[in-house]
Structure 1
Amino acid sequence: MTRYRNGGLFLTLCLIWGTTFVAISAGLLHFPPVLLAAFRYDLAAVLLLAYVYHTETAWRPRGRNEWAEVAVGAVFLIAAYHAFLFTGQQYTTAATAAIVVSLTPILSAGFSRVFVPEYSLTPIGVGGLLLGVAGVVVIARPDPANLLSSDVVATGLIFCAASAMALGSVLSRRIESSLPTLTMQAWAMLGGAILMHAVSASIGEPIDVSAWTHPEAIGSLAFLVIVSSVLGFFLYFTLLENLGPVELNMVSYVAPAIAAVVGWLYLGDEIYLSTVFGFVLIAVGFVLTKRRFIARELSTLKTEQTAD
């Protein structure tokens, strides 16, 4: 029964986070990118902080390490990731953004090799990392005569978003902290939102008051706050405890398919053959990079099924 429950939660999370990329594209029709990301986490942080205050004993960070963990989360996992992602997604499709973001677990392996001395990346793992990067290049389809085309720049910005997420994940694991994950996430959301408001103000993003009366604008923001951020993170951390990080990483490889279908139905996004091929390269790169962990998870699953 637990296996079916986890399967249902996994598919629900895939649906939510796949549709999130479409909600971002819809919201970007009405809000400037960094400001939209900041608004998303203003509201999500308030909701999550209220929940943490009433449910967690350690509802706020204490000590240098706990604040350091929050700072890493705010800068890399929230502010840098979303500022790059939302800005890049102005010029590309939801499916393309989801596919490039799926490179994150592969980049995490690369950063781990640099920042975690005991982590070793074998030649096959290096090949997987290079294959994943090659997939991004295929998706970008760079024209040597015009390397600053909107498609290439957009893909590059989203690649920066995936890199920020991967680096933040690795750096946060290096910090010894007993802060509950939800508490860290709530305070990181708040700090990240403040940083993004500062960036938005510094680059002079315009605020269109009429957006607040447009049903699509309000609907996309509500989805990003309530469904994607709050509900999505609750499902993520529940599944992280039940399934483990390797199996949960597969969300990144189901979400692009959902983003492609929903983007096509709602926004009329086109899906190019090069995008599909790039996704295949990234997926194969993930398997090569994480092959040991995947084999271990499959062995554990087989043992559990035998015991049942």
Structure 2
Amino acid sequence: MKRFLKNTIAIGLLGLFGAVNAQVLITKDKTVDTPDPSAILEIRDTEAGFLFPKTDFNGTFDDNQNPVQNPVHGLTLLDTGTDRLYFWDTNITPNRWIKNFRVNDAEAILQKTINYSANSTSGVSINSWPTNPPTFNENSNTTGWTDLGVSVTISPTNATNDVFISAEGMAQLNNTNTDYYSFAIGLFVDGQLKVVRKFYAGENSACTWKKFELNGLFKDMAVGNHTVRLYARNVRKDSGTGNPGLYYGTRAPNTTCSNMNENMARIFLTAQVTE
């Protein structure tokens, strides 16, 4: 306590008699009595800090309403109206009080991008082929589709957003004959069809494979969680015999189908949310 009073008196004397060549240590620790050589003023404590001077800017942070007369560059105050620290900046025109930024301050003026991704860990086979090609309607449900087991959950936090979704993978026919075939890949958001593409394998050979890609851009999705999931369905087989299975995200199991491996066949799904 005596050391604290002594330093308080020292600071008071500085104000009364002007500048002196001295260093000041404010501490409750009785075992130390000198400040760090690099500090003109040191406050040393492990259980207490110091409070900035407080004032109310009343929402005005320029010369028109200044609670401090003729502030010097770098002067720092705590605004009681916003509960934020501000410092006086003379390097900008007009001079004004600049607040100490937080993460949410930056998010308000900078775009935030979040990426989500997933990939298949096993394959899916569809063995049936429709007599008539199916039709597709936006926002329809998953009836008639087969889940490919690849999904991501996205979570926009701002009502103004762009969501870009991209998917790619492989499908391979498990056949030893020559066949042409087509299939469709659907991108569903919260169980509703949003993007669909049909793909046609026109190579008349055994074990034919086809790469698929599809993309979608959505604006201003509702804030909260949304599930993005990939589905597939066979569309048509134009030649050959029987009903060989079409394998998605994995190689066909037929021993003659050696023109594909598991890594090549994998399905990838990526969603990017920009706010």
TM-score bracket, shorter-length normalisation: under 0.3
Higher relative contact order (CA 8 A, sep 6+): 1
TM-score (norm 1): 0.20
Higher helix share: 1
TM-score (norm 2): 0.21
Decide which structure has the larger Cα Rg and report it: 2
Higher strand share: 2
